[in-house]
Amino acid sequence: MSQAIGGVTRNIAAQQQQNVGGPEARSGAPAELQGAHASPLRTFGRILAGIFTLGISEGIRAIIRHVKAGEAPAPRDPAADLPPAPPRADIFNKSIASEFQANNLPPDFKAAVTEAFDRMEARFGEDMFPKDSKLRTSPQTSLGFEVKDALRQTDEAITPQAFSALVEKKATYALLHNVMTTHVTDLCARIGYQKSPSLLAGNFLGGNPEIIAAMDNITDKASLDHFMATTLQRLEASVRHNHELHVSKTQAQTDAIQTFSRQTGLSEDTVRQRINLGDLDNRFTYLSVDILDGKRSLAGQEMRDAFTQVAKTFAERKAALYTSVDTLDLPPDIRNSWKDSVLTQNTLTKSDLFTTWYGISRGVAVNESILPALNDGVGDRELLSMLEILGTQIRDAVLAHYGQEGWAELGGDGQSDALFYTGQATLAAHDELRQALMDHPELVDRLYQMAGDDVAQGFSSNTLAAAELRCGAQGAMLLLNSVQRTE
């Protein structure tokens, strides 16, 4: 212990001897103290005092601190010696995509694009991929957007080599699409098919992904010529088939309008302008998909007959629904409203809907006290409660007619139609009550708003009482809405 302390003391004394007269020692000191320093014995005394007052270990720490005080380096920034962080992959890729579209790529990426185009020229020839092709000179075309979209889905920063392969892949698709679009444009002009050639070509490629995959295996001009001839033949057959579908649907739609006009007495122009053919279009779509997928092998007259039959069924059912209104005991305004709904509503397509709902309404017993209460000016809440009870009666009657399975088959739109028209027919059987409600539009609006609040309250709880409140309020809203729609 004494030897260690002695050695440290000698080192301290030697350091202090070296510092005598140094600029740091002289700086700011009085003249009489210039060059002054503590003696080795006094220094040793302070250290020894530290040993006895702080303990041996603390004393030794004091010695070490004293010795190293002048040797401690300045604080350092831990990040100063680290290499700069690489850019985020998504930001880098986005930058490359933007620079590609702006035709302002960094040299290594620009060279990668040139290499991709050179490989394509070697594969497809300058006739198919000329040097002045827009794919080469105008990256702002669809190629630029395809590349940008692909880079957006890449997790790692793109390298020049990977970028070259990506550009070649996307440009190959774009090149094939362009060639096909040119071919389809000429074909459509010859057969009178007014459809976007680009869309037809894109749909064909999208439905036949093996075509793009096969392009990767083409390495010589002879193989390319054979492949393109075969592919364009398939494309032409597809376009002609689509055209035949289009002609068949168009003619069948015209047949539907003429049939509806003939069976209802409405002019063709009126029907054409007002009828909603949404349901017919859906049925045409289902048939078209079956034909295109090969589930139904139809062509020529057989295809036209299939579409004609779909259109005939649609028109005859809708016309029968339209004419059925005249067989029901309804006020003129409701009769006209229902006929108009047949024309304009997509969901009213079955011939017996109105007679069914009218029949259900005849079995609903309306509280005879509602009209006197309305005329006597009872409170809104009391009147709404009566209408909510009536709404529940109508709902129960409709559910009883269809049963749970039949009700589910109606779907949401069909259920709404059943409740609405049954409610309207119920009020039509009590025309004085209906007219009294129509004479108080502000009251109807208030009650409708209150019923909406009750529906919201009914959804706030899972209790039976809440469910009953909700159903009754929804029924009242349908009744009040039917009054508003016939004003």
Q: Does a structural domain hold residue 243?
A: yes
pLDDT of 159 = 95
Q: Which residues contact 470 (CB under 8 A, 6 or more apart)?
A: 454, 455, 457, 458, 459
Would the pLDDT of 83 be above 70? no
Question: How many Cβ atoms from other residues are within 10 Å of residue 462's Cβ?
Answer: 7
The reply to whether 345 and 472 lie within a common domain is yes
Q: Which two tokens stand for residue 233?
A: 């033949």
pLDDT confidence tier of residue 103, bands split at 50, 70 and 90: confident
- Both 163 and 287 in one domain: the answer is no
**Range 2-21 average pLDDT:** 43
Q: Do 47 and 5 touch, CB atoms closer than 8 A?
A: yes
Q: Which domain holds residue 298?
A: 239-327
Q: What average pLDDT does range 325-334 have in this prediction?
A: 94
What are the tens digits of pLDDT across the range 248-293? Answer: 999 999 999 999 999 999 999 999 999 999 999 999 999 999 998 8
**Domain end: 171, 186, 219, which one?**
219
| Residue where one domain finishes, among candidates 278, 305, 327 | 327
pLDDT attached to residue 81: 58
pLDDT for position 466: 83
- Position 465 scores a pLDDT of 82
pLDDT at residue number 78:
53
Q: Which of 483, 475, 382, 387 shows the shortest CA–CA distance to 441?
A: 483
The mean per-residue pLDDT over the stretch 165-188 comes to 93
475 and 349 part of one domain: yes
Q: Is the pLDDT of residue 472 over 90?
A: no
**pLDDT value for 130:** 87
DSSP string, 409-473: HHHHHHHHHHHHHHHHHHHHTTHHHHHHHHT-HHHHHHHHHHHHHHHHHHTT--SHHHHHHHHHH
CB atoms within 10 A of CB 324: 19
Q: Is residue 33 part of a domain?
A: no
| Number of domain units in the chain | 3
pLDDT band, residue 222 (cuts 50/70/90):
confident
In a domain, 15, yes or no: no
Asked if residue 265 and residue 209 are part of one domain, the reply reads no
CA angle 249, 252, 256 (to 5 degrees): 135
| DSSP classification of residue 75 | P
**pLDDT class of 486 with cuts at 50, 70, 90:** low
19 domain-assigned: no
Q: What is the mean pLDDT of the segment spanning 335-349?
A: 95
The pLDDT > 70 percentage for the chain reads 81
Question: Are residues 335 and 441 located together in one domain of the fold?
Answer: yes
Q: What is the pLDDT of residue 357?
A: 97
* Sign of the torsion formed by the C-alpha atoms of 376, 378, 380 and 386: negative
With bands split at pLDDT 50, 70 and 90, how would you rate the model's confidence at 122?
A: confident
The band of 28, judged by pLDDT with boundaries at 50, 70 and 90, is very low
17: pLDDT strictly greater than 60: no
Question: Which amino acid is located at 242 in the chain?
Answer: N
Asked if the model's pLDDT at residue 345 lies above 90, the reply is yes
114 is a domain residue: yes
| Same-domain status, 115 and 153 | yes
Give the residue-averaged pLDDT of 434-456. Answer: 91
Per-residue model confidence (pLDDT) at position 425? 94
Given a cut of 90, whether residue 50 has pLDDT beyond it is: no
pLDDT 10s digits, 370-392: 988 888 888 999 999 999 999 99
pLDDT band at 6 (very low <50, low <70, confident <90, very high): very low
* Structural domain contains residue 129: yes
Q: CA nearest 381: which of 473, 484, 467, 485? A: 473
Is the pLDDT at 47 greater than 50? The verdict is no
Computed over every residue of the chain, the mean pLDDT equals 83
Per the CB < 8 A criterion, the answer to whether 426 and 394 are in contact is yes
Mark whether 172 and 309 lie in a shared domain: no
- Average pLDDT (118-127) is 88
252 plus 308 within the same structural domain: yes
Give, in order, the Cα–Cα distances in Å from 166 to each of 160, 202, 205.
Answer: 10, 20, 19
Q: Is residue 67 part of a domain?
A: no
Q: Are 265 and 333 found together in one domain?
A: no
pLDDT in tens, 66-76: 444 444 455 55
* Res. 3: pLDDT tops 70: no
Residue 160 lies in a domain: yes
pLDDT at 2 over 80: no
451 and 349, same structural domain? yes
Instruction: Please write the tens of the pLDDT for every residue from 158-175.
Output: 999 999 999 999 998 999
Same domain, 300 and 364: no
pLDDT for res 470: 85
Q: Are residues 131 and 273 in the same domain?
A: no
Last residue of a domain, which of 327, 349, 365?
327
pLDDT score recorded for residue 294 = 85
| In the predicted structure, residue 246 carries a pLDDT above the cut 60 | yes
